[in-house]
Amino acid sequence: MIKDTRLILALDVTDRQQALKIAQSVKGHVDAIKIGYPLVLATGKDIIGEIAEMVPVIADFKVADIPNTDRLICEEVFRAGADAVIVHAFTGSDSLNMCVEVAEEHGTEIYVVTEMSHPGALDFMQRVAEDMAQMASNANVAGVVAPATRPERVKMIRSIIGDDMAIISPGVGAQGGNAADTIRAGADWVIVGRSIYLADDPKQAAIEIAKEIKDAIDQ
């Protein structure tokens, strides 16, 4: 992805027309749109390509299965037009490496979840987050997912993966994460959902958050 706004919209709506309208409105004000199961299950996988015509799409399917199933999923998603897929690492290096192999065939990217942004991630995920970050680094993926709700963890993950991989960070806005703090901790992009797509003016909301990010970088 091109680092322009450093902002990714998590578009977790379920109505096709609403999704396309929001995508069009934020075009040029976000670097990518992350879509997941809610939108795709409600509208069909063609929505991936429709949005990708306007803004690069990250398919947040958190792929987590045996290597062959992961391969089938990634192939379908990339054929549909996605620029990147988010996958889990806890299924092991063979599954992760298969996702990377498919991405390389399609000239696309894989992002690996290290630790999620909700409180429940502390129950189990944080215990192995650093191991999963190292696995992601070893697999030479495009980047990892680390929680904006815990900037200190973003900083820790950055120390493991180094500067050559990207960090995308969900949890800014409705979950309580702060865009500026997350960027300062080492994230390359922040992911914002409800604060943008539920706003009366999603475009203006995206512009304001992007400005907050820019100000944090310029300081």
Residues annotated as part of the active site: 62
Segments of 14-130 assigned E as strands: 32-36, 57-63, 84-88, 109-113
- Number of residues that make up the chain: 219
Distance CA 114, CA 116 (A): 7
User: Which residue shows structure tokens 């792929």?
Assistant: 63
Residue 11 CB partners (closer than 8 Å, separation 6+): 19, 22, 23, 33, 34, 35, 39, 51, 193, 197
